[in-house]
């Protein structure tokens, strides 16, 4: 990489809920901060976000706009729209980040608030319905589809776990195994006891109107009317730079962090969906705040003992 365009105390990669929360703590700690954001939050298609106190029912973009406005009130915080494409650790322990337009920035610490990328391929209509009627979490969206005919696109122990939880929100539940089910006899009996149906037909597509599901069409041409489907997609990290810098991942594919959001590499923190299965705006904000506090605290105390 070449000479950096500018040096900061901390660079935050990812400027959604978690990244902005980190920036707020850092701005209030008088730190020079650059936020680099690709503007691709995972919930961008969701009409309304729920279960975050003071913001319940708001459009995700509105929450982001309000957060960004508050953070940019702190004049040591800068926001750059762009994608970080490479990073490297310098001999003096600082880090360089290159963005897609070619600029290079340097900082003593990095915070990755980069989220994850859900794999919504495979079934036509799944991506279009994601966050609207194909949902990941009952606490975020279950209330809106309570008592409605609902599917669970899953199989085996995961399907049992999801079905047990969702049976609180609706009794009209069908597990769509999209092929042969893998339940044990005991699991089948449990589902039967709770009137939860198993449907093994192979799915051809989801029929919907602007993301609002009306039915599932199967390969044999038959249909099942449903209002919502719970789905836990597989994912990859949205940004590969943490791994390239040596940050360890968990077995599930999340960035490994301690209780202060510090990764396995000194000076690098991670927060939000890239470190946890507990996907919620409130949780992302909490972890961002913690990362911002921990990163600034480390810098302040390092400077104090110089």
Ligand X SMILES: Cc1cc2nc3c(=O)[nH]c(=O)nc-3n(C[C@H](O)[C@H](O)[C@H](O)COP(=O)(O)OP(=O)(O)OC[C@H]3O[C@@H](n4cnc5c(N)ncnc54)[C@H](O)[C@@H]3O)c2cc1C
Q: How far, rounded to the nearest angstrom, does the alpha carbon of residue 285 sit from its chain's CA centroid?
A: 12
HSE-up of residue 217 (Cα within 13 Å, Cβ side): 11
Cβ-closest residue to ligand X? 272
How many chain residues bind ligand X (CB under 6 A)? Answer: 38
Cβ-contact 245, 89 below 8 angstroms:
yes
Question: Is 17:285 a contact under the CB 8 Å cutoff?
Answer: yes
Degrees, nearest 5: CA angle 85-258-113: 30
255 touches ligand X by CB under 6 A: no
Q: Which is nearer to ligand X, 19 or 292 (CB)?
A: 19
- How many other CB atoms sit within 10 Å of the CB of residue 141? 23
Binding to ligand X by CB under 6 A, coded x per residue (else -) over 121-160, reads ---------xx----x---xx-------------------
Burial of 170 (0-12, 13-18, 19+ CB in 10 A): middle
Query: Should residue 236 be labelled a site residue for ligand X when binding is judged by CB under 6 A?
Result: no
Stretch that binds ligand X, among 67-75, 143-151, 244-252, 277-285 (CB under 6 A): 277-285
Q: Show the binding pattern over residues 155-184: x = contacts ligand X (CB under 6 A), - = does not.
A: ------------------------------
Measured CA to CA, the distance from residue 158 to residue 177 in angstroms comes to 11
Q: Does 35 bind ligand X (CB under 6 A)?
A: no
Our finding on whether 19 is near ligand X (CB under 6 A) is yes
Q: Which two tokens stand for residue 65?
A: 């706009």
Q: Which is nearer to ligand X, 14 or 267 (CB)?
A: 14
8 A C-beta contact, residue 227 and residue 213: yes
Q: Does 290 bind ligand X (CB under 6 A)?
A: no
> Which neighbouring-strand residues pair with 228?
150
Contact 284, 292 (CB under 8 A): no
| Strand 212-218 with 203-209, pairing | antiparallel
CB 137 to ligand X: min, Å: 6
Regarding 38 and contact with ligand X (CB under 6 A), the answer is: yes
| From 178, 273, 298, 299, residue interacting with ligand X (rule: CB under 6 A) | 273
Among 84, 120, 175, 295, binds ligand X (CB under 6 A): 84
| List of residues contacting ligand X (CB under 6 A) | 13-14, 16-19, 36-43, 46, 49-52, 83-84, 113-115, 130-131, 136, 140-141, 238-239, 272-273, 279-282, 284
């Amino acid at each position: 990489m070449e000479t950096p365009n500018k040096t900061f105390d901390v660079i935050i990669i990812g400027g959604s809920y978690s990244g902005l929360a980190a920036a707020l703590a850092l701005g209030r700690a008088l730190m020079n901060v650059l936020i680099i954001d690709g503007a691709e939050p995972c919930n961008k298609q969701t009409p309304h976000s729920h279960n975050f106190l003071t913001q319940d029912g708001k459009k995700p973009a509105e929450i982001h706009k309000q957060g960004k406005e508050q953070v940019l009130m702190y004049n040591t915080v800068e926001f750059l729209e762009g994608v970080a494409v490479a990073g490297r650790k310098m001999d003096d322990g600082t880090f360089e980040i290159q963005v897609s337009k070619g600029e290079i920035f340097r900082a003593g610490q990095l915070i990755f608030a980069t989220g994850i990328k859900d794999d919504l391929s495979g079934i036509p209509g799944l991506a279009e319905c994601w966050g609207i009627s194909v949902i990941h979490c009952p606490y975020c969206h279950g209330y809106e589809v309570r008592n409605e005919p609902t599917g669970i696109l899953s199989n085996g122990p995961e399907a049992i776990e999801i079905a047990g939880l969702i049976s609180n929100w609706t009794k009209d539940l069908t597990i769509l195994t999209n092929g042969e089910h893998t339940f044990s006899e005991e699991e089948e009996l449990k589902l039967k006891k709770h009137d939860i149906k198993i449907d093994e037909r192979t799915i051809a597509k989801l029929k919907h109107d602007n993301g609002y599901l009306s039915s599932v069409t199967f390969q044999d041409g038959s249909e099942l009317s449903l209002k919502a489907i719970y789905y836990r997609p597989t994912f990859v990290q949205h940004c590969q730079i943490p791994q390239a810098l040596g940050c360890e991942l968990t077995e599930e594919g999340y960035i490994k962090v301690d209780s202060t959001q510090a990764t396995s590499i000194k000076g690098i923190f991670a927060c939000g969906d890239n470190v946890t299965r507990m996907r919620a705006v409130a949780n992302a904000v909490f972890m961002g705040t913690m990362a911002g506090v921990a990163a600034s605290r480390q810098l302040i105390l390092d400077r104090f003992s110089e």
